[in-house]
Structure formats: C-alpha cells, structure tokens
Structure 1
Amino acid sequence: MDATTAAVLGGIAGMALTGLAALAVLAVRLSGRQQRRVPETMEGTSSLPAGVADVLAVLSSSGIVLDSADAVVNSSPAAVSHGLVRGGEIVHAELLAIARQVRRDGIIREAELELSRGPMGRTSLVVGARVAPLGDSHVLLLVDDRSQARRVEEIRRDFVANVSHELKTPVGGIALLAEAVLDAHDDPAAVSRFAKRMQVESARLTRLVQEIVDLSRLQVADTFKDPERVDLAAAAREAVERSRLAAEDKDIELALVTADDCMVWGEPELLTTAIRNLVGNAIAYSEAHTRVAVKVSTGAGDLVMVAVTDQGQGIAQVDQQRIFERFYRVDDARSRSTGGTGLGLAIVKHVCANHGGEVTVWSETGRGSTFTMRLPGAPLGRPRAVAARHTADVHTIPDTISAPGARAEVP
C-alpha cells in the first residue's frame, strides 16, 4: 500500500471516529434533556413559552395554563390536589370567567374567591387568584389557598367580640350593684348583700382577665425558654388542694391516684393550672354527693397521663369536638351560673400543645366524662416498681382511674 492510499484510508477512519464521537455526545445531551423535561399533563404544551412547564412543576401554589379554547394545557400538582383542575378542565366557573376576561382585554386581574371544595359544595376553599395573559393564545392562573388565613382572621374577630361581650357582663353587674349600694346607703342589710354580690362579680372579672392573659401568652409562646423537670403527681396534688373548697361546697368527694416517676419538662404553674381547670370543670358539671377522681400514671413510650373522671351528665357527641374552643359552652346558662368563663378547656388544650402533648375527652350522656392529658415524660431512669398503698375509700374510685401499682389518696 502506497503512502497516498494509506493517508486516504486514515482520513476516512478519522472522520468515522469523529462522527461516532459527535453522535455519542449528542445522545448524552438528549438523554439529559429528556430526564430534566417536565412531563406534560396535556397535549399542546409544546406551544407554551419556553420554561413555563418547568416553573409550574415547582410551584407550591396552584398554577394553571389555559389555551384559547379554555382547555387546561398544563397545571401544577397543587392545582390538581386542591380540586381546581379535573379531567383537563377548570372545575370552578368563577376562575374560568376571570380567565376569559383576561383573554379578551389582556389586562391582569386579581380576585379573592370562595370556591366549593367538592361537587357536594358543603365546604369552601378561600383562594386568591392572579390571572395574566401568557403569550398570544394562553392565559396563566396563579391560585393561592387562603383558607387558613381566613380562619385565623375569623377566630381573631370572634375572640375580640367574645371578650368584649364577656367583659360587659361582670363590669355591667358591678356598675349596677354600685348604684344599688348608693341608693341603699341607709339600709345596712341591703348594702351588705349588694357588697357580697360585687365581690362575686369582681372575682369573676379577675378570673376572666387572668385567663385571657394566660391564653394569649400560651398562643404567642410555642415553647418555654427555661423548662424544668416537673413532677406531674405533685402538680395534680396542688390542683386538687386548690379545688377542695369548691368540692366541699357541693359535697363532692375528690379522689387522687398517683404513680412515681411522673416527670415532664415544662412550667409547673401552667401544668397545675391545666389540671385544676379539668378538676374545676368536673366539679362544676357534677351533681352534689358524687365523686371526681384524678389519676396520674405513666404509659407506653414514656408518656405521662393525667385523667380526670366525673360522674356528671356527660357531653353529647356533637359538642365533644368543640368544647376546647374559646368561649364555647355546652350549657351556656349553667356555665354562667357556675361562674365559668368558657376559656378553661382552651387553656388546657394550649398548655398540653405547648408541652408537646394533647388533651382528649371520653364522654357519654348520663355516664360522666373523662378528660385525659398526655404529655411526653422526662424520666431519669427506668420506672421503679412501687407497692400500692390504698386508703379505706379507694375501692370506690371508678375503674377508669384505678390501676395496679398506683398510689391512691383521698384528700
């Protein structure tokens, strides 16, 4: 083979290798693009401006692109999960109407809408919609769920209105009683009677203001700066002691069952207040000559539990989901007669939540109620087995609060 032939064959081989290398590079690039490409939810997305599909795929809010025929050519996952897009179409006529207006005049529009969550239309979804033209033939809708913000605002308004209403009652009562005292200044018996009523209303007002302050502080502070190890059994004993007079006034027996190593992290006073609220509720809604029992125990997963059981009238199922709301009363007339503020259980709920726990209720009409606080424990070591020490009256404590290895006390 002469030199010229060899050179020609070498050039052809070099060109072939170069072509193969180029094809390989092109294949790698196409593969990378294919992997990065966002799956198209509808046909026709190829006519969208470049990058729109990529942006929609990463949106946390609902993004929807409509073509000139009002068909959904692309949408974000949130738009589907919120029920705004179904079967390639926008579900809600309100959004579609705004999109058509924007397509006609090309003006960007914003609106807050209340949309039904499903075909039954029983619940609503509050959204903020921003609609803008996208290219020559498409319209882009960006929809944010504002339902939670709306609920928070409604709760705030309700809270302010309820506080104003609740404060008017004792303040108005004190004002009327003060006028009565002035009118009866020459009647010592009447003055004494009105003065006692003023003390009652003043105490109620003080309690209401204090509970409002406590609840506001709990809602602002999700955690505690300097938590300490708290003996929940000691907190329960303190709560029972503070409730003793109220129980004696109705001839209600208080029974306490405690276990060792019931330690949690938190604020002692708040935990005592929460337990006292549960005991106070049990006393207020129990008939005379009955029993209220408090049990402090440990459970699985290092949980520490406080259960307060009464023998009252019980709570209807329809009310059990709302009794932890602020100012909610099952029996408004009876709550006012007992001096209840409607904030006690809301405070218990927030105390438990701020300590990483929860409060639940079991109740049946005519069979009483059991409120249970569950909090994460803070044990130093494994719980010790302790022999039970019973008093003469422990056998009458309801079965729901008696447990082996627990220590029972009847204050």
Structure 2
Amino acid sequence: MQSTWLVLVSLALGLGVGAGFMALLQLAEHHGRRAAEVVNPVVPDGIDQVLDALESAGIVLDPSNNVIKTSAAALTMGLVFSQQLVHAELIELARQVRRSGEAISQDLVLSRGPFNDASLRYRVRLARLGTRYVLILAEDRTESFRLDEVRRDFVANISHELKTPIASVSLLAEALDQAADEPVQVRRFANRLTTESARLGRLTQEIIELSRLQAQDALATPEYLDVDALVAAAVDQSRVVAEAQNITLAVGKKSGARVYGDEKLLVVAVHNLVSNAVNYSQPGSRVGVGVRRQKNVVEITVTDQGIGIAEADIDRVFERFFRVDQARSRHTGGTGLGLSIVKHVVQNHGGDIRVWSQPGSGSTFTIRLPEAATPAAITPTANAATGDIQ
C-alpha cells in the first residue's frame, strides 16, 4: 500500500515538473518571437505595394529611426543612404510624430544626398504607421517653385516694361492737348507719341510671340526650307536702319543648306540677331552674316564690331528683358526680348545658339540647326481597284 502511494506521489511530481518545463518553453518561445520582431520588424500588410505605387518618395522608420522600407524615389532623391535617413530635419520630425501622435506636414529645403550640395525643395508629411512605425512621404516641388519664381519675375518685368511707354503715351497726349495752338510742338509731340506707341506695340507682340513659343516643344508642320533665302529675307529687313547708320551688311556666299522648320519663325530669329548687331555697332562699322554646313549641322553666324558683351553677362543675354546696355536699348526701342525669342525658336527647331564676345571687339552669335536631308522622290503608285496612277 505504501509503495502504491509512493508511485502516485512520484507521478504527480513528474507531471508538475513537466508542466512547469512546458510553461518555461512557451515563455521562452514568446520572448523569442518578441525579440525577432524587434530585430526583424514587420510592417503592416500592403505597405510594400503602396510604396511601389508612389511617384513621390516613401519611407518607413522603425522605433530606432532605421529605414526598414523605402521607395525607389527616396533613394534617387538622396533622402536615404545605407538604410539611414540622410537629413537630421526628417529625424527630428519623426521624433515629434512619435511624441505627439499627430501627423506633420512641412516644406523643407534639403540637399540631394550626403555627397551633393544641390538643394531641392520638398513637401513632406509624416504620420504614425501602426503603433511602432513612422511613415514619411516626400514630394519634390523644386520645379514647381522655380516656375512660380519665373512667373513672378515675368509679371514684374512686364509690368515694369509696360509702365514706361504707357506713361509716355499718357504724358504726350496731355502735352498735345496743351499745345493745340502751337503747330510745331504738336508735330513734335505727335512724332514722339508715334514712336512710343510703336514701341508699346512691339513689346506686346514680342510678349505674345514668346509666350506662344514657350507653350510648344516642337513644330507641328515643319517645311523644307532654303536657309540662304530665309537669311536674305532677314537681312533685308535691317538694311534701311543699317544704311541710315552707315553700317555695312555683308552676306557670305550661298551655302545650299536646307533645314526643316517654320520659315517665319526662323526669319524672325535671324532678323533679331542682325538687328541687335546693327543697334550695338558704331557708325561706319560692318556686320557680317554667313551660312555654312558642317557635319550635318547648318550654322548661321552673325558677327558685329560693336561694343561687345562682358564675360559676366554672356550667360544672361538670353534672359527675358536683359539688356547689355540699358541706355542704348532704350534709345533704339529695344524690348529686351529679342534674344530670348531667338533661343526659343532655335530650341523648338532642335538646335542651339552660341555666343562669343569680347568687350570693345564685338560679338558673334551662331545658330546651329540640324541639316535636312533631301526629301525622297515620290514614286507614283497604281490604284489596285481602278488602275489609275496616284
């Protein structure tokens, strides 16, 4: 009887020890899973797909600010490097989100990666993702800010440029009224009024033309053009002004070059260069215009012996409303848009424009356009139904 009792006690002790051991195993397994989750955090389902679909940058941070998920855009924008956030500003915002639990939106100017000093403008939004993670979304708005600045500058410049001729017209009209009984003064004011109104008309037309050029990237219906003919037409438009100032217009020999493009626009571009050359040249000097073909490129060159351009200004001459010599430009009625129009015309024809200049020695502007191949001969084809030639 006693032995049976001892067996039962031993069995009970064994079961108790076994249950305790199993409980220890389960507890160890639970702690192991928790440790694995800390070491290898798992983000909520669907985040990978969301990040892949984003055009903007997307980043998921763990509690230690390690980057555990990122979109391709975040890498190319330089926000993430070696699985870490590059910018301390983003880390601080993430800490604020964890403390407050509230989402944050902010505009930031950040460098493009740890090795690039170029700055980009971002619109960033940070929010909690579950209980442990922070999601960062960043949109590159650099181009948007640049376009806003360009628009503001353009409107400010237009306002400034229009103010002078409009004010002049108003004052001259008032002077005409007061000088109604003085024929000489009336003619004088009327001539000035005609000059200012013509200047205002040119400025308005060039603003419209420039806006139209900037709105299109390529030509809709290019034509097969004779470059020598369009250059001759452009030069002829400046002959009267050049002769009045005793400036010689010298045109080089015919090149036989052909390009595809819009004849009217190319004539305007070349005329603007010739007109500038004449306006910035001294009486008795020479303006040369030449065309040459070189390695499938047609070059139209306008050279003057004028005042030249300072090295600091060469990169700015194609800016809207920029003038090398403000006083001379005002005197000649220049709008400051001519070279900007040239640049956009040339770019819309798939070409580029280059400038060389030296103060006191003159300037050379060169338009470079793709040379057009001779159009293939059109071969007549027979209509299968009627046998007619088309």
TM-score (norm 1): 0.76
Residue 222 of structure 1: how far off its partner (Å): 2.2
Matched, 1:145 2:140: yes
Q: Residues 44-123 of structure 1: matches in 2 within 5 Å?
A: 46-50=41-45, 52-53=47-48, 56=51, 59-86=54-81, 88-117=83-112
Q: Which AA in structure 2 matches 1:152? A: L
Which of 360, 369, 372 lines up with 1:366 in the alignment? 360
Task: Find the aligned partners of 2:137 and 2:45 in 1 and give their Cα distance.
Answer: 18
CA deviation string 1:163-193 (max 9, x = no partner): 1211111111011011111111121111111
**For residues 330 and 116 of structure 1, what CA distance do their matches in structure 2 show?**
34
1:230 aligns with 2:225: yes
Going from structure 1 to structure 2, the CA distance change for 1:238 and 1:70 (only over 3 Å counts) comes to same
Match in the other structure for 1:217: 212
Q: Give, in whole Å, the separation in 2 of the partners of 1:157 and 1:380.
A: 45
DSSP 3-state at the match of 2:59: strand
Given that 1:130 and 1:143 are in contact with CA atoms closer than 8 Å, whether structure 2 keeps it comes out as: yes
Give the Å deviation of 1:111.
2.3
Letter in 2 for 1:75: T
Structure 2 residue aligned with 1:257, among 246, 252, 256? 252
Alignment partner, residue 247 of structure 1: 242
8 Å contact kept, 1:262–1:379? no
Q: What residue identity is the alignment partner of 1:365?
A: P
Counterpart of 1:340 in structure 2 is 334
* Structure 1 residues 157 and 270: alpha-carbon distance in aligned structure 2, compared to 1, 3 A threshold: same
Q: Distance in 2 between matches of 1:73 and 1:365?
A: 59
Aligned ranges 1:123-272 → 2 under 5 Å? 124-272=119-267
After superposition, the C-alpha distances for 1:67-115 in whole angstroms (9 at most, x for unaligned) are 2122333433433333323454433333233222222233333222233
Q: d(CA) in 2 for partners of 1:100 and 1:328?
A: 48
Deviation, 1:116, is 4.1
Q: CA deviation at 1:50?
A: 4.5
The one-letter amino acid of 1:272's match is V
Distance 1:316 1:254 in 2: 24
Larger Rg: 2
Q: Distance in 1 between matches of 2:289 and 2:319?
A: 23
Q: Which amino acid aligns with 2:321?
A: F
Structure 2 gaps of 5+ residues are 1-37, 377-390
Query: Contact 2:80–2:113 at 8 Å: present in 1 too?
Result: no
Q: Following the alignment from structure 1 to structure 2, what is the Cα–Cα distance between the partners of residues 122 and 323? A: 27
Cα drift, residue 212 of structure 1:
0.7
CA RMSD of aligned residues (A): 2.5
Q: Could you list the runs of 5+ residues in structure 1 that have no partner in the other structure?
A: 1-42, 383-411
Separation in 2, partners of 1:290, 1:303? 29
Contact residue 328 and residue 342 of structure 1 kept, 8 A: yes
- Count matched residues: 339
Q: 1:329 to 1:92 in 2, by over 3 A?
A: farther
Same amino acid, percent of matched pairs: 51
SS of residue in 2 equivalent to 1:47: coil
CA contact (8 A) 1:258 1:297 kept: no
What are the Cα deviations for residues 223-251 of structure 1, in whole angstroms up to 9, with x where unaligned? 33322112121111011100112212221
The answer to which of 55-64 and 169-178 deviates more is: 55-64
Counterpart-to-counterpart distance in 1, 2:39 and 2:48? 12
Determine helix, strand or coil for the equivalent of 1:49: coil
Mapped to 2, the partners of 1:227 and 1:44 lie a distance apart of 63
Q: Give the structure 1 partner of residue 31 of structure 2.
A: none
Aligned residue in 2 for 1:296: 291
- Using a 3 Å threshold, how does the CA distance of structure 1 residues 56 and 259 change in structure 2: closer, same or farther? farther
Aligned residue for 2:350?
356
| Alignment CA distance shift 1:74-1:364 (3 Å) | farther
SS at match of 1:315: coil
1:378 aligns with 2:372: yes
